[in-house]
A = this chain, B = another copy of it.
Amino acid sequence: MLTKRRYDSEKVKKEIMESALLLFSQNGYNQTSVADLSKASGYSKGHIYYHFQNKEKLFVLLARKTIEEWHEKWIRKAAAYSSATEKLYGMARHVLYNYQTPLLKSGQELASNPDSSAGLVKELYDLSIVPKNAYRAVLQEGMDNGEFAIENMDESAILLEAWLRGLCQLTSIQELSELEPLLNEAITIFLRSISKGDT
């Protein structure tokens, strides 16, 4: 039994967050005004400030939530794969369909603003670490397994991350699913460079 709520404030808050996530993802941080957030959610501008300290805090909240959910979902999903090799393919798909690349690109936009506080920049930077660590964990597992032979773990993780990110940012692609074969091909090529038995 939930504690009885007199108002459905939490529900409203979630509604605002959902429509805000959509707008930020589609149009970026700077190109999404609080008035836009108001119109899209159906609540007044003032009301948005009742629930959130300001636009920046709302964005960071959404970004963190997105990354955390992405990561948790991945942890759950990863258990189903029986090899590190399979995990890499699965990770690529997971990035494609869950990572919200456009939202996090907006984060870079914010972080690169000279007026942004150091704390904000740090917070956004921490978020960008999450996927790299996830890649590295899979690579490490493959090393421990004996599936992979990786000389420079850092380098490999970065190469992998950059490739997937670059692919997810392609402007010429309309449907995410069009990207899937490209991601698969990238993983296949990348795997060839770290598979045991390679020089």
Contact = CB atoms under 8 A, between A and B. Distances in A.
A27 interface: yes
B112 A31 contact: yes
B171 A159 contact: no
Can you tell how many copies of this chain the complex includes? 2
Interface string A159-198: 1011111110111100000000110011011101100000
B162 A166 contact: yes
Interface residues of A, number: 35
Contacts of A185: 155, 159
Interface string A47-66: 00000000000000000000
A128 B192 contact: no
Nearest to A31: B113
Contacts of A125: 171
B114 A27 contact: yes
A182 B158 CA distance: 8
Contacts of A112: 27-28, 31
B170 A182 contact: no
Interface in A73-128: 108-109, 111-114, 125, 128
Nearest to A166: B166
A188 B159 CA distance: 12
A193 B189 contact: yes
Contacts of A164: 166
A171 B31 contact: no
Interface of A: 27-28, 30-31, 108-109, 111-114, 125, 128, 155, 158-159, 161-167, 169-172, 181-182, 185-186, 188-190, 192-193
11 contacts: A27-B114, A28-B112, A111-B171, A155-B181, A158-B170, A162-B163, A162-B170, A163-B186, A164-B166, A188-B193, A189-B192
